[in-house]
Amino acid sequence: MKRYYDLHIHSCLSPCASDEMTPANIAGMAHIKGLSLIALTDHNAAHNLHAMANAAAEYGLIFIPGIEVNTIEEVHVLTYFAQVDEAVAFGNTLYDALPHIQNRTDIFGNQIIMDENDQFAGTLDKLLLQAVPFSVDDVVRMAKTAGGCSVPAHINRDSFSITANLGFLPPGLFHCVEVAKNLPCPDLDSNLKVLHSSDAHNLGAISEPVETLNNISNAKDFVYFVNGI
Ligand SMILES: [Zn+2]
Ligand SMILES: [Zn+2]
């Protein structure tokens, strides 16, 4: 079955995202737009994944729990998991490893945790827009060990991307890449799977029903798909 997807969305936990990006609002907008497969991928933390899983279920959406990791090379790598608990454990490892630099809400924005009723449940103190002390290789290995998979994010952007910051896509490390639409893209190995998601930081930016994936019925299917199984 063909499903319209958006697998790169930030909630109000990411300081750079709008405070309107609550899990219930994200799920509602995805539903209105005709999507049926979504992921939440906040920066370096997983504190809204349980709430997002609940909200997605309310709208009958298939939900992939994810985290966008900012590696020590300042490369953004999307990690996805079959289970919310796996993703939360991985997210806690990342958050704990972040340097103790406090978020400045006046500069970077709020880092809002929402509960399963879409109510304010607190904020995160450490700035999420820092690099974790793990390399791209480390993140790929750690995510796989934790039951997940990795996709280098927006590889054709000139900042925070693997091609910009490492200069190349390490051969054999990934089976799947994310390519930002409307930007030139380098020639890619034809064996690579390619995802096009929104990287939405506000509700209006969530994808229109254009990009599709086949035969993904749950998060486990997606992790298998990405891992090339
Ligand atoms: Zn990014
Ligand atoms: Zn992003």
Sketch the domain layout of the chain as residue ranges. 2-227
Residue type, 169: L
Partners of 213 in beta bridges: 3
Residue 81 confidence (pLDDT): 98
pLDDT in tens, 170-188: 999 999 999 999 898 888 9
Cβ within 8 Å of residue 65, ≥6 positions away: 39, 40, 46, 49, 52, 53, 80, 81, 83, 84, 86, 87, 88, 219
**How far, in Å, is the centroid of ligand 1 from the Cα of 57?**
26
Which ligand is nearest the CA of 162, by number?
A: 1
CATH of 2-227, one of 1.10.10.410, 3.40.50.880, 1.10.3720.10, 3.20.20.140: 3.20.20.140
DSSP state of 132: P
Residue 97 confidence (pLDDT): 98
What is the number of other CB atoms lying within 10 angstroms of the CB of residue 126?
16
Residue 182 confidence (pLDDT): 87
pLDDT in tens, 118-142: 999 999 999 999 999 999 999 999 9
Rg (CA), the chain: 16
**How far, in Å, is the centroid of ligand 1 from the Cα of 76?**
5
Nearest-CA neighbor of 36 among 221, 220, 164, 207?
207
Which ligand is nearest the CA of 70, by number?
A: 1
Which residues of the chain register pLDDT less than 50?
Answer: none
**How far, in Å, is the centroid of ligand 1 from the Cα of 15?**
13
Which ligand is nearest the CA of 14, by number?
A: 2
